Amino acid sequence: MNPYLPRYEYIPDGEPRVFGDRIYVYGSHDKAGSDSFCDFVLKCWSAPLSDPTKWVCHGDIFHTRADRDHPSDIDWNGDNTQLFAPDVIEGPDGKYYLYAYIVNARGCVAVSDRPEGPFKLLSKYKYTIPDEVCCNGWFIDPGVLVDDDGRTYIYCGFERSFLAEVNSNNMYEIIDGSCIEHFIPCTETAEGGFTEKESLFYEACSPRKINGVYYMIYSPKRGSRLAYATSDSPTGPFTYRGYIVDNGTDYPGGNNHGSVACINGQWYVFYHRMTNGTIMSRRGCVEKIEILPDGTIPPVEMTSLGFEDSLDPYEITPADIACVLKGSAFITERNVFDRAVINIQDGDVIGYKYFDFGEDNSSKTMEFAAKIKGTGCNCHMHIFADDEEIGVCDIGQDGGAVKTVVKAVTGRRAVYFKISTDYSGWTAEYFKGRSLFELSEFVFMK
């Protein structure tokens, strides 16, 4: 399900890479409830291509601050040198290279004999590009491509993009004269079809070569989206083609960063979603996508599915996998075992896509149960299967399990909970904006 990693894990900016018979994800590392992006470690998770639901953690693979198990992997530490948005590629020599973006400090390249690391410092970037172009050597959001001819390219930027060729003999030296600025423009232009603000570059470069075409996946100025452009050359010019996913559709959006990968013949887009009512504490999610013969990628909606084809309504569903949160409600983590949708108010909508209710045509009704925490208010949770209201669950002031009988449905359905109250008249003002209850999990039963 989404999030596809354990629900206590916060890996945003995910770069999926297929090495051998496994899919690896490299990203930043957030913490639950944090008031900032990222921390001082990078982690790696991987799963077999044969079953991308079975993820294993390979631990911390690189550090910019000493912790209980590791010294720092760099010796130019500052006070706030968090690690943001890395990339890992297999070099022409068969080794694996980590491209690190370090806030407030020059970025670097690290190397390992294994895709899961750990990675050891190779060098800071060596370059003659003007510092105003490469953000004083930060090389923000590096995305790296090793082309079929063995040449290596790095793509970076924040609010303005640039690319350059990397010396494939050492993998950290930027070749003089190879820098190209604004390969994705930051101002509107008819050239390449970048005619609208939502097509323009903001951050989050991720290059891929698919069927001989060079794709640049990036976060545009509408930052909740992942957009993409294509070219016949690794150095452009690029043509805007559209966007793939938007993490702000019917959900509390924020920045977005990710890429695409092919697993067992099926293409997926990896991205992240926010928790805790902030734009931080981001968790990795994934959706199936299709790459059409003309190279376009139709936009996909956010779901709760992850690598699943559908969810089972007759198994207990954790509430924090919601893919629709309209209103004031948000997901939060109290501890590693306890997560809930909280701050639920009158008019809010909480949704899950998609459940397969099966083909039982004999049952006219079924039961619905939810585990809630009351907050001293009374309200109603209207239960919808797609656009059809199938029942109402009354919620009181106390917590525990609430139950109701609902209409039995069949087939593949989205499930939505729409919240209402009966407070009216002049006293209703005292309940306006009140948190009505918290939702932990739910299930349908026959």
Report, as residue numbers or ranges, the catalytic residues. 13, 203
Residue type, 176: D
Nearest-angstrom CA–CA distance, 121 and 244: 34
The H or E element that residue 243 is part of is strand 239-246
Strands laid side by side in the 161-166 sheet: 143-146, 152-157, 161-166, 180-181
- Residue 282 near residue 12 (C-beta atoms within 8 A): yes
Strands laid side by side in the 388-395 sheet: 324-326, 349-356, 412-420, 379-385, 388-395
Nearest-angstrom CA–CA distance, 71 and 53: 32
User: Which residues, 6+ apart, have CB-to-CB distance to 316 below 8 Å?
Assistant: 441, 442, 443
Nearest-angstrom CA–CA distance, 195 and 176: 32
185 prior amide bond cis, ω within 30: no
User: Which residues, 6+ apart, have CB-to-CB distance to 376 below 8 Å?
Assistant: 397
User: What is the residue-wise DSSP string for 308-326?
Assistant: -S-B-TTSPEEGGG-SEEE
- Residue 127 near residue 94 (C-beta atoms within 8 A): no
Nearest-angstrom CA–CA distance, 200 and 220: 5
b/e per residue 384-396 (b: at least 16 CB within 10 A): bbeeeebbbbebe
